[in-house]
Every structure is written in structure tokens, then in C-alpha cells.
Structure 1
Amino acid sequence: MDLDELRRSALRIHDLYDELNRQERGRVWTREEFMLGFMGDAGDLAKLVLTQEGARTSRPDGRAALEHELADCLWSVLILAHRYGIDLESAFVRTMEELEKTISAWLGE
């Protein structure tokens, strides 16, 4: 699955969440609420990484939980990029090129 397919899949789930929230709460999530949801997922991801590294009590579903949280975080990033009108693919390529130049300069290459 490429980035466009991931984005389309994320948007289908986004639309389903919007419909669920309209039915249950009479409104959809704001961009700020998506960001807060992402922060919660990132916190859960941090705990799972600590578990994987032995710094927290292990869980029987540790690997599956880690995969799930990574996917949740990716979903949030894709949705935030969509909500802010950011071409994530272009931004990623540009940022990686900038980082490569910066790190290479630090290394004296």
C-alpha cells in the first residue's frame, strides 16, 4: 500500500468517525481534538516502546499492541495533514532532504 492508498483508507475511517460523532454527539471533532487524540496515542506508544525495551511490565499482546498504536499514530498524522491541507508526501521528501544535508554537513561530508 502506498501513501495515497494509506491516505484514502485513513480518510474513509475519518469519515466514519465523523458520522459516528454526529450521531452520538451532534458534532465532529475539531483539529484540536484530533491533535489531542494523537497525543494520547503517542503517550500509549511511548508506554508500549518502554514495555518492549523491558522498562515496563510486559503484556501478552505487546507486539500486537505496539503495531496497533503505531498504526493509530500514522492515522492521526495523515488526518492532521489532511485537515491542515498539507501535502505530506512533498513535506516528507523536502524534510528528509534538508535533514540529509544538515547531518552530512555536521559529519563533514
Structure 2
Amino acid sequence: MDFQHIIERSQAIWEKYHQLERQNHQTEWSVIEDALAFLSDAGLVGRLTMSQQERWVSNKDVTPELKHKLAECIWWLAVLSKRMDIDLKQSMETFLSGMEQRLGNTKQQAVGFCIFETIPPLFVIKSSPTYSPPVLLFFL
């Protein structure tokens, strides 16, 4: 499925949701309410992932619900980006290119990750001679 097609279909569904919101609540959800709904669904992805990975007790196969919530989160991101006048396709291209460039760094000692060049790295991966797996150091 083409990324642009996903965005367009998401927009059409979102417009139908707004009709229901007006019908049931007399007003449409704000961008903030949409963002909170997205966060709620993203939280459910976390819980369903724990269940699917057998780290949270569940008496059923949660895979169908997890698939639905993952897709719903993508839908929410398409909706939110449109509502905030952010070109999601371009944002993804910029993000992926930046990550590929950063992770293509071959330095063994330290690799920093930074969203914007003016902000210090969020974490550094360091190799240790006494401990073979890399150590992840967070800077907050």
C-alpha cells in the first residue's frame, strides 16, 4: 500500500469521525483530544505487546487486537500530522535519512544520537574492554 494512499484514506475516515463527534457531542475533538486518544492507543500497544510476548498474563491470543492497535496508531499519526500541517511523508523521509546517516557511523567507541544538531546527544553507546556488550548511557 502506498504511503500517500494511507494518508488520504486516514483523512477520509477522520472526517467521518468528526461527523459522529458533531452528531453525538455537538463539537469536533480538538487536536489535543486527538493526541490524547493516540496516546491511549499507543499505551494499549504496549500492554498488548507485553501480553503477546508473555510478559503480561492474558488468557487469549492478543495478536489480532495488537495488529488492529498498531494500524490504528499509524492512522492516528496520519490524522495528527494533517491537523498540525506537518507533511508526514517528508517528516518520515527526513527522520529515516537522518537515522540511516547516524547509524551508518562506523566509530566503535561512541555513537551519539541527536534529533537536532544543536541539542546534545540523548544517549551514547560505549564499548567497554571489561564488558563485551555495549553500554547505553542516557543523558537527561
Compute the displacement of 1:12 (Å).
1.3
Shift of 1:60: 2.4
In 2, Cα distance between equivalents of 1:88 and 1:59: 37
Equivalent residue runs for 1:63-78 within 5 Å: 63-78=63-78
> Which deviates more, 72-81 or 96-105?
96-105
Mapping of residues 5-16 of structure 1, within 5 Å? 5-16=5-16
* Matching of residues 30-109 of structure 1 within 5 Å: 30-105=30-105, 107-108=106-107
Tell me the residue number matched to 1:29.
29
CA deviation after TM superposition for structure 1 residue 26, in Å: 0.5
Aligned to 2:125: none
* Superposition TM-score, scaled by structure 1 size: 0.92
Displacement, 1:61?
4.1
- Structure 1: give runs of 5+ residues left out of the alignment: none
Question: Any gaps of 5 or more consecutive residues in structure 2?
Answer: 109-140
More strand by share: 2
Partner of 2:130: none
Decide which structure has the larger Cα Rg and report it.
2
Indicate the SS of the match to 2:86. Answer: coil
> After superposition, what is the alpha-carbon deviation per residue over 1:53-105, rounded to whole angstroms, capped at 9, x for unaligned?
11011342411001000011001100011001111111111111111111222
Matched pairs, number:
108
Amino acid at match of 2:23: Q
Hey, which bits of structure 1, 4+ residues long, moved more than 3 A?
A: none
Is the contact between residue 51 and residue 57 of structure 2 (CA under 8 Å) also seen in structure 1? yes
| 2:27 counterpart SS class | coil
Q: Which amino acid aligns with 2:107?
A: G
Question: Quick check: 2:52–2:61 contact (8 Å CA) kept in 1?
Answer: no
TM-score by length of 2: 0.73
The structure where helix makes up a greater share of residues is 1
Measure, in 2, the Cα distance between the counterparts of 1:83 and 1:59: 38
